[in-house]
Amino acid sequence: MTRTMRKVGFVAAGAFGLWLASSSTAFAQELTTAELAVGLNTFFLLLAAALVFFMQAGFAMLTAGLTRAKNTTNILFKNLMDFVMCSIAFWAVGWGLAYGASQGGFIGSDQFFLTSAGGDGVPVYASWFFQVVFAGTAATIVAGAMAERTKFVSYLVYSFLISLFIYPVVVHWIWSGAGWLNTYSGSTDGNWGFTDFAGSTVVHSVGGWAALVGAMILGPRIGKYGSDGKPNAMPGHNVSLAVLGVFILWLGWFGFNPGSQLAIASQANADAVALVAVTTNLAAAAGALGALFTAWLRSGKPDMGQTLNGVLAGLVAITAGCAYVNPLSAIIIGLIAGPLVVFSAEWLDALKIDDPVGAVPVHLVCGIWGTLAVGLFASVPGNTGTLGLFFGGDATLLIAQFVGVIAVGVWTAALAGLMFYALKATIGLRVSREEELAGLDIGEHGSVAYPDLLPAPATSAATPSGTISSAPAAD
């Protein structure tokens, strides 16, 4: 009986195996190579987008850690709402302005409310999802530079408007395939040939310019600069959060930069993605070393905050050229970005521009440097057919990079300035003195992030006039 059952089992297993093999063969025959490529590319794009989305957590942790405890809830809330406001604005209008039918290479004119989702290749919805997380990154950069003194409602308006109009127009100029700065035609015919692979300028400089203008219009935090003009230290409350934030951002950048290849299902794409991952990582490491030793030599002590910003400086700087430079060039770009972030932070203080987390040095200064570095170090022609000055090219690419940097700077700074001045004149941009001293957690939200360490007063809500009726001493 037992032998008979075994024989029946073997026969059944063999029959099932033959059926499975024949079914698999038929399935493989029905699923074409092109369909497999679309599926793989779509998965790759969505995975990269998820990593970039996780960078929102990195920005939140970094900004909260580098600012004071009394403003933690406010900082985290603003980083959350950046992506909330961005998602709606980019769905309704931003995507259409960025990737809709081009009007003179300046602006898109259709695909609003994401009404067109068909077509061959990677689904439009997947492309939108990948692009909206980039828009969210540009919007959230400003949170650090304007931290600890900006009204919550004004910040919501800013997040919405930069994702609705300011950022999408820049995307159209450079990434749409029909913009006046780059048409992705493989040459510079009819366009400048401006090259920014993953957004040193498109994302980081846009956020950096808005951050700079916002910080200037807003003014420094109370007590930041003494009567002699020298800056007073206002250390962040939690270095652990800041370090965690940088690690999350570093991880997210492996979606930010490699994902910008937009495909992986071929040998050429796989090679490009691998190069981007390597150059991204090396520039980050070099940026950390550059900032570490610069700050160490200047102060006599290794500085954790400067080194953290050095990592981000290297990442921002390599983002424009990560697909076009070799590993050694990536290290050089990062090594230069590290000292730049240290010196530019000092320059801002000399100008009495208060940037609590160093957003402007990291994203604007190093975004500009990384963009210009493409014109020097590009050893791969990319989509414009041009090489950098140090690798056999003439000045064509370097000039194009200057033109793009200036154009994006003028556009963003002008519109951001108008927006912030309008907010200041209408609903107000800055909280009251009493709210700032008590902390925005209490003044704006009526709560605190650490109730066992910084208890909320018995009357924690703001009075109708906007002042605080009772508050703990400012830290």
Percent of the chain with pLDDT over 90: 85
Average pLDDT for residues 98-123, to the nearest whole number? 90
Query: Comparing C-alpha atoms, which of 261, 194, 203 is closest to residue 44?
Result: 261
Name the pTM for this structure: 0.91
CA 228 to chain centroid, in Å, comes to 36
**Per-residue pLDDT band at 120 (split at 50, 70, 90):** confident
Lowest-confidence segment of 252-256, 369-373, 459-463 by average pLDDT: 459-463
Give yes or no for residue 338 having a pLDDT over 60. yes
Written in H, E and C, the secondary structure of 325-355 is CCHHHHHHHHHHHHHHHHHHHHHHHHCCCCC
Secondary structure (3-state) at 212 = helix
Give yes or no for residue 297 having a pLDDT over 70. yes
Which pLDDT tens digit goes with each residue over 388-441? 999 999 999 999 999 999 999 999 999 999 999 999 999 999 999 999 999 999
Average pLDDT, the chain: 91
Please report which residue ranges of 320-470 form alpha helices under DSSP H: 327-350, 359, 366-377, 396-425, 433-438, 440-445
**Per-residue pLDDT band at 134 (split at 50, 70, 90):** very high
pLDDT at 453: 80
Residue 150 φ then ψ, to 5°:
-100, 135
The amino acid at residue 85 is M
CATH of 34-430, one of 1.10.3430.10, 3.30.420.40, 1.10.357.10, 3.30.465.10: 1.10.3430.10
Percent of the chain with pLDDT over 70: 89
Average pLDDT for residues 450-461, to the nearest whole number? 68
pLDDT at 310: 98
Residue 105 contacts residue 173 (beta carbons within 8 Å) = yes
pLDDT at 382: 87
Average pLDDT for residues 242-261, to the nearest whole number? 98
Query: Comparing C-alpha atoms, which of 336, 294, 344, 304 is closest to residue 317?
Result: 336
Distance CA 276, CA 465 (A): 53
Distance CA 166, CA 417 (A): 11
The amino acid at residue 242 is A
Give yes or no for residue 314 having a pLDDT over 60. yes
Average pLDDT for residues 81-108, to the nearest whole number? 97
